[in-house]
Amino acid sequence: MRNVGFQDWRQYRVNSERLLSNIEELGSIGRTPEGGVRRLAFSDEDIAGREFCIGLMRAAGMDVRTDAAGNIFGRLTGTDTDAKPILFGSHTDTVPNGGKYDGGLGSLAAIETVQTLIERGYSSLHPLEAVIWCDEESGLTGSLGYAGRLTVDVLATERAGVTLTACLRRIGGDPDRLADAAHEPGDIAAYLELHPEQGGVLDRSGIEIGVVQGIVGISHYEIELIGFPNHAGTTPMDQRQDAMLAAAEIVLAVNEEVRKLEGTHVGTVGRLNVEPGAPNVVPGRVTLTVEIRDLSNDTIDMLWGRIHTQANTIAERLGVELFQERSTRVNPAMADSAVQTLITEAAAELELSARAMPSGAGHDAQVLAGIGPMGMIFVPSEGGISHSPLEFTPPEDCVNGANLLLQSVLRLDRS
């Protein structure tokens, strides 16, 4: 019964009741008074969530292991001993008051995928591994460990006053043997991740599946404007060097430049501080952040160039000094085009509407893209709400996403 025909595997579907029940059960671990979930990485609640997943893996008959970086793998051994593993999964840690779908859906759908295949007696060519990445929310710790990118500096950072080194020990990792967890490019056949969109594009358009083109790069710039903090009563309008006026024009310029260009890039002024910040003093100093995200660093650089030029012109006209710097840059991580095609075809076979789209948020998948071909599947997030107790993905979308993950894994295994 381990050999199945071509038609057979295309009919496989996950056990939707079991999947939805597992989502509820994991979502009840660390529930907050507001109905959200609090499973901060390395906390007791996080450990309870991880044990719940390990229990599911074991019960389904997977080989379970935790690596030195704290990642949990539930494995179905393949028949080809030379074949690289196909990985698929997500994370079970959450933000302080998050939702149950962010991470939870992708983790449980990955377990459900392997469990379905075991129940079907499916004989895979590749090793198939459902993976729960450690500590996604505060630093992609587990996936960075898998990619051999956990540095001494990162290990010395703290979570709630405890070094990451000590945190890893607490959940069964082994910071002294991180090399054992590390992988090289080419070590995996592919990585897939199912995740709620965390934005409102699918929900608004009524499309069931987002085939992720890549995870956007993020460039973060700081602008400092120095005017003069004059008395707001005694300084005539034409004698002011008002840093807030310059800042307001720059906020609008960011929006204008970003919207003028066709595409899915975004630009945001999310933080803006005014000094001295008194109603009766002309603002003498304003600092603000400009964050630009796109799948292409070239687009980001071009947009920043335009914003930068406009900002300097504005500051000069208003007699305000401008200082600027790029403080951080995270490079884009592209999804593999063959994997995107494969997911798109599997969605069509499942009669699910789908569109290509970037992921505007970060995911472990961006780290895995450095190790092998990566693909992500998005399902709708109602109202685009994320990192909130109000986060909600309808049950049918959860099931659609899990079936698409299952079918994509099968296509990868057989391709």
Q: Are 327 and 222 spatial neighbours (Cβ–Cβ below 8 Å)?
A: yes
Q: Which amino acid is at 163?
A: T
Q: Does 270 contact a second copy by CB under 8 A?
A: yes
**What's the closest the beta carbon of residue 234 comes to a second copy, in angstroms?**
3
> What is d(CA 113, CA 130) in angstroms, rounded to the nearest whole number?
8
Q: Find the part of the chain contacting a second copy (CB under 8 A) among 17-25, 164-172, 266-274, 300-308.
A: 266-274
**What's the closest the beta carbon of residue 198 comes to a second copy, in angstroms?**
4
Q: Which residues pair with 354 in a beta bridge?
A: 209
Beta strands at 128-133 and 86-91: parallel, antiparallel or unpaired: parallel
Among 206, 233, 262, 325, binds a second copy (CB under 8 A): 233
> What is d(CA 405, CA 346) in angstroms, rounded to the nearest whole number?
9
- Backbone φ and ψ for 62, nearest 5 degrees, come out as -80, 160
Sign of the Cα pseudo-torsion (283, 286, 292, 297, in order): positive
**Residues between 281 and 310 that touch a second copy (CB under 8 A):** 281-283, 289, 291, 293
**Residues between 379 and 398 that touch a second copy (CB under 8 A):** 384, 386-387
Q: Does 279 contact a second copy by CB under 8 A?
A: yes
> What is d(CA 175, CA 179) in angstroms, rounded to the nearest whole number?
9
Among 41, 111, 244, 409, binds a second copy (CB under 8 A): 244
Q: Does 264 contact a second copy by CB under 8 A?
A: yes
> What is d(CA 399, CA 200) in angstroms, rounded to the nearest whole number?
19
Q: Does 252 contact a second copy by CB under 8 A?
A: yes
**What's the closest the beta carbon of residue 277 comes to a second copy, in angstroms?**
5
**What's the closest the beta carbon of residue 117 comes to a second copy, in angstroms?**
31
Q: Find the part of the chain contacting a second copy (CB under 8 A) among 4-12, 37-45, 242-250, 346-354.
A: 242-250
**Residues between 334 and 373 that touch a second copy (CB under 8 A):** 359-362
Q: Find the part of the chain contacting a second copy (CB under 8 A) among 93-101, 119-127, 265-273, 301-309.
A: 265-273
Q: Does 267 contact a second copy by CB under 8 A?
A: yes
Q: Does 201 contact a second copy by CB under 8 A?
A: yes
Q: Find the part of the chain contacting a second copy (CB under 8 A) among 23-31, 167-175, 213-221, 305-313.
A: 213-221
Q: Are 390 and 99 spatial neighbours (Cβ–Cβ below 8 Å)?
A: yes
Q: Are 103 and 142 spatial neighbours (Cβ–Cβ below 8 Å)?
A: no
Query: Alpha helices of 121-242 — where are they, by DSSP H?
Result: 141-146, 152-156, 164-170, 178-181, 201-205
| 27 token code pair | 């979502």
